[in-house]
Structure 1
Amino acid sequence: MLNENIKKLRKSKGLSQEELAIKLNVVRQTVSKWENGLSVPDSSMLVALADELDTPVDVLLGEPVTESMPDDMRTISEKLEVINLQLAQRSTDKVKAVRWILISLCTLIIIVFLAFIAMQSSYLGWNYNNPELAVVGTILHGCEFVFVRFAPIAFAVCTIGIVITCKKR
């Protein structure tokens, strides 16, 4: 919600990301990250952002405008904490998804290796005078040849990826 509000208010003011970034003394990529929900401004930057966009901080955070209370900074801080927790959860979910994709790929590589072992290259004994068998046998041999050379590298890379994405306990 914060990211959408920043983008909507910036556009309603007719400002580009670059212009807003210059006014806030940050780089354009920072504004882009805020608008894409990849990060959130800290509480002091949120106040400066609200000032530049001529809007209360509550509106930026998606709350209806109410009377100012003395503990506004605490409220803002709590809301930012919730947003940061949501971003952290989203990041954790992405890492888990990548880990499961890598585990699935390793499993697929093992299954295909086992299938090639079970086949024992039986197509090499086929009668290649028959054109259809020659084409199929050549394709099978080519697939096995390429797979046996590249699968160990892919397996090693996936295994390293799994180890990297595993959370240290």
Structure 2
Amino acid sequence: MLSKNLKIFRKRKGLTQENVAEALNVVRQTISKWEKGISVPDADMLIKLAEILDVSVSELIGSDVADEKNEDMKAVELARVVEQLASRNRRSKKVLKCVLIFLIILLLFFVFLCVINFATM
């Protein structure tokens, strides 16, 4: 819901992804990822984004703002979005760590082979 709403509200406001990115001090690709649903903004960015687009956070994430009972639902939805982002960040860090470990092992193996090859000469 956030990705679709972000694009709709941004266009209604007459802003480009670049305009929004500059206002938030992020790169344009970040806005693009949010609009494609690849990633989500953290809670602070979500609040700033809502201010830039002149909408409420609940409108941005797709909640109904007409009823005060929905305040709890908005908080739950916002917490879910933030947790989703944190989970993706944790996975990315784990993958990066595994790749780095693999590359270090590969480098050490290459150095070992070079030392053995040089020693036999």
- TM-score of the superposed pair, with normalisation by structure 2: 0.65
Q: Cα distance 1:13–1:51, how it changes in 2: closer, same or farther (>3 A)?
A: closer
CA root-mean-square deviation: 3.8
User: The residue matched to 2:25 in structure 1 has which SS?
Assistant: helix
Contact 1:18/1:28, CA 8 A, preserved across alignment: no
User: The residue matched to 1:27 in structure 2 has which SS?
Assistant: helix
Query: Match for 1:87 among 85, 88, 94?
Result: 85
Contact 1:50/1:56, CA 8 A, preserved across alignment: no
Partner of residue 110, structure 1? 108
Partner of residue 11, structure 1? 11
Partner of residue 76, structure 1? 74
Gaps of 5+ in 1: 125-169
Gaps of 5+ in 2: none
Identify which range, 26-35 or 105-114, moves more after superposition.
26-35
* Cα distance in 2 for residues equivalent to 1:56 and 1:97: 32
* Cα distance in 2 for residues equivalent to 1:31 and 1:71: 36
Partner of residue 57, structure 1? 58
Contact 2:13/2:53, CA 8 A, preserved across alignment: no
* Cα distance in 2 for residues equivalent to 1:117 and 1:31: 45
* Cα distance in 2 for residues equivalent to 1:90 and 1:56: 21
**Residue 56 of structure 1, CA deviation:** 8.7
Per-residue CA distance 1:37-89 (angstroms, 9 max, x = gap): 452345x938x549825x8935x3245xx683322221111101000001001
Q: Pairwise mapping of residues 79-158 of structure 1 onto structure 2 (< 5 A)?
A: 79-120=77-118, 122=120
User: The residue matched to 1:78 in structure 2 has which SS?
Assistant: helix
**Letter in structure 1 aligned against 2:118:** Q
* Cα distance in 1 for residues equivalent to 2:66 and 2:3: 23
Task: Give aligned-pair identity as a percent.
Answer: 24
Size of the aligned set, in residue pairs, is: 114
Q: Report which structure shows greater RCO (CA 8 Å, sep ≥6).
A: 2
Contact 2:41/2:82, CA 8 A, preserved across alignment: yes
**Residue 31 of structure 1, CA deviation:** 9.7
Contact 2:10/2:16, CA 8 A, preserved across alignment: yes
- Larger C-alpha radius of gyration, 1 or 2? 1
**Residue 94 of structure 1, CA deviation:** 1.2
